[in-house]
């Protein structure tokens, strides 16, 4: 709702720009009136630009607050199952008992993937990065669900969300099994979502009695919840942008996976472990810190575009980390190094002055390593969990009229010049 107007004078022309308040957070200035002003707005990195209105997730970076549909993340992570959170992201409220049973059943029914998908895996080298495989196989789902999929049909959109959330653990585990040269494991629909994922990752046909450990299962489910959504981050914005063209939603999610892969985004959890490898031992931390301060390298797993106080996901993740390491009796020098690094960074003025705190990826990498998940699978797990968020945003976009996302630019290239024949070019 527009409360009052901002005024902008450009070349002595005055523009009234409505100020719109949401339910929480900074109001926005609606700059659509600049359309005919002869100017574009310029905001590299979208630091102050809100391209959408959304009811799904709210972040207060100053307070370190994250709400999904109004529910604080710590309450969700400590009390709800990931699939309940996924339901809330999609439908707006946590499910009641009946809705929960119905939603969980629908997910269970769709965990399998078309048998032909196995052949796609065979096209990849065994040492292909599993994120490369995920971009390919999730994108390939669009070939299985295209002709009969009408994105303007609400029921079609809903089944798409169910299929994606249900199939992601299966595809993620398949990408791991393929890299190991082990046979794919079919989903076990009597298991919970997290148990089933661990089963498909770690069971083998020779050991089908594999029973996931309770502490590990709880930690896995929390990791899923803590990564479920994060409003208009780079990958979610990518899914929305791709979706704004009316593209196939499975292809849109594949685009989100590609955006997530980068080390500034979801790829950071893998980069944290690589960084620990590079540092080696606690004695090398001061020298590494000097490289960080001279901007030679970044301290991976630290800092966030929005959180300038603390990352509330990291707090829950740290508690889970302590729980898992304690319960599994893990004594890994790499994990000790991570803890030493965290302590030093939190006290160092360079980090204090810049409000750089550990983010969710710092601790998630450590937990995943303790669980026995290989580093290259870390971002795949992030993508599995973020699928509920991505598809919620895609659904929200499609539930009301929307425009194709089409930004402008500040052009600084050559001005007009005439074509020169190749033999006359310098």
Number of Cα atoms under 13 Å in the Cβ half of residue 146: 11
Residues that are catalytic: 304, 361
- On whether the CB atoms of residues 237 and 51 are closer than 8 A, the answer is yes
* Tokens 């052009």, residue located: 411
To ligand CMC, the closest distance from the beta carbon of 353 in angstroms equals: 9
* Cβ nearer to ligand CMC, comparing 232 with 248: 232
Shortest separation between residue 272's beta carbon and ligand CMC, angstroms: 7
> Is residue 233 close enough to count as binding ligand CMC by CB under 6 A?
yes
Length of the chain (residues): 426
Virtual CA dihedral for 83, 89, 94, 98, nearest 10 degrees? -60
Interacting residues with ligand CMC between 260 and 279 (CB under 6 A): 264-266, 268
Choose which of 80, 216, 241, 360 interacts with ligand CMC (CB under 6 A). Answer: 360
Spatial CB neighbours of 223, under 8 Å, sequence gap ≥ 6: 317, 320, 364, 367, 368, 381, 385
# binding residues, ligand CMC (CB under 6 A): 20
- Of 68, 69, 163, 304, the residue at the interface with ligand CMC (CB under 6 A) is 304
With respect to ligand CMC, which residue has the nearer C-beta, 290 or 322? 290
Q: Does 357 engage in binding with ligand CMC (CB under 6 A)?
A: no
Question: In the set 359, 379, 387, 392, which binds ligand CMC (CB under 6 A)?
Answer: 359
Instruction: Give phi and psi for 43, each to the nearest 5.
Output: -155, 75
β-strand pairing of 28-29 with 13-20: antiparallel
Q: Which of 71, 113, 61 is nearest to 91 (CA)?
A: 71
Q: Of the listed pieces 35-43, 57-65, 140-148, 354-362, which binds ligand CMC according to CB under 6 A?
A: 354-362
Contact region with ligand CMC (CB under 6 A), list: 49-57, 210-218, 359-367, 402-410: 359-367
Gap between the Cα atoms of 171 and 165, Å rounded: 11
Output 69 or 265, the one with its CB closest to ligand CMC.
265
Task: Supply 254's token pair.
Answer: 């594949």
By CB under 6 A, name the binding residues for ligand CMC.
Answer: 230, 233, 264-266, 268, 292, 298-305, 354, 356, 359-361
């Amino acid at each position: 709702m527009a409360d009052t107007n901002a005024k902008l004078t450009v070349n002595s022309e005055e523009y009234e720009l409505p100020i719109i308040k949401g339910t929480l957070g900074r109001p926005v200035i609606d700059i659509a009136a600049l359309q005919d002003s002869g100017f574009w707005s310029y905001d590299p990195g979208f630091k102050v630009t809100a391209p959408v209105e959304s009811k799904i997730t709210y972040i207060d970076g100053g307070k370190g607050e994250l709400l999904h549909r109004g529910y604080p993340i710590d309450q969700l992570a400590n009390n709800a199952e990931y699939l309940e959170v996924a339901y809330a992201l999609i439908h707006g409220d946590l499910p009641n008992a009946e809705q929960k049973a119905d939603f969980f059943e629908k997910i269970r029914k769709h965990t399998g993937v078309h048998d032909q998908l196995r052949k796609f895996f065979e096209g990849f080298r065994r040492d292909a990065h599993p994120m490369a495989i995920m971009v390919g196989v999730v994108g390939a789902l669009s070939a299985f669900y295209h002709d009969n999929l009408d994105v303007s049909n609400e029921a079609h959109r809903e089944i798409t969300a169910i299929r994606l959330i249900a199939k992601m653990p299966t595809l993620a585990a398949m990408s791991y099994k393929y890299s190991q040269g082990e046979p794919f494991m079919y989903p076990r629909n009597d298991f919970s979502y997290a148990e089933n994922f661990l089963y498909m990752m770690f069971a083998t046909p020779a050991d089908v009695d594999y029973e996931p450990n309770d502490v590990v299962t709880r930690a896995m489910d929390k990791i899923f919840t803590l990564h479920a959504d994060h409003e208009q981050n780079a990958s979610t914005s990518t899914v929305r942008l791709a979706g704004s063209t009316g593209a196939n939603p499975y292809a849109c999610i594949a685009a989100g996976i590609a955006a997530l892969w980068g080390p500034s985004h979801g790829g950071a959890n893998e980069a944290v472990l690589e960084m620990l490898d590079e540092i080696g031992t606690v004695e090398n931390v001061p020298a590494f810190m000097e490289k960080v301060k001279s901007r030679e390298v970044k301290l991976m797993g630290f800092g966030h575009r929005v959180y300038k106080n603390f990352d509330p996901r990291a707090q829950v993740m740290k508690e889970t980390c302590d729980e898992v390491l304690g319960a599994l009796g893990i004594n890994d020098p790499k994990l000790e190094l991570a803890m030493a690094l965290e302590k030093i960074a939190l006290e160092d003025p360079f980090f204090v002055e810049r409000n750089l705190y550990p983010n969710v990826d710092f601790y998630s990498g450590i937990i995943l390593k303790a669980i026995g998940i290989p580093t290259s699978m870390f971002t795949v797990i992030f993508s599995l969990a973020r699928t509920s968020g991505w598809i919620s945003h895609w659904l929200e976009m499609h539930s009301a009229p929307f425009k194709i996302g089409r930004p402008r630019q500040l052009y600084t290239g050559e001005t007009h010049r005439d074509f020169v024949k190749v033999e006359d070019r310098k």
